[in-house]
Amino acid sequence: MSASPATVEPREDEVEFIAIRAQGAGGQNVNKVANAVHLRFDIASSSLPDEVKSRLRQLSDRRIGGDGVIVIKARAHRSLPRNRLDALARLRELIAQAALTPTPRRATKPSRAARARRVDSKVKRGAVKRQRSRAFDSDDR
């Protein structure tokens, strides 16, 4: 592993927070207070290692746009600071997921016994099907 998830951390100056009004039910408070947060993080201009950047871009996550900007919406809590912390935690989780170096796959071959078991099961299955087709031969009538 080249970079552990604990060492890869987004810098505060690279993360942009935009306070917005939350959607949905909430009474009068939801109409006048901007408690929800949009977090924006540009992958290309960040200080993350290059291999982490490339793995971040390759993640199939709907929060990562085609332009390489991560947008996270946090509106679960009623206060702006808690929504900011929630959005930042989700960004850290996404970066930690990309920071894990995947273990390379080693090509292996099936053993001789495994190949023999496979062929035996195919032969047995073929025999069952052959028996079904001979149920109504013209000689039996």
Q: Answer yes or no: is pLDDT of 19 > 70.
A: yes
pLDDT tens-digit profile of 23-56? Answer: 766 666 666 777 889 999 988 888 888 888 888 8
Considering the domain delimited by 12-99, tell me its CATH architecture: 2-Layer Sandwich (3.30)
Q: Answer yes or no: is pLDDT of 73 > 50.
A: yes
The β-bridge partners of 64 are 70
pLDDT, average across residues 92-109? 90
**What pTM, to 2 d.p., does this model score?**
0.64
Q: How many angstroms from the chain centroid is the CA of residue 54?
A: 14
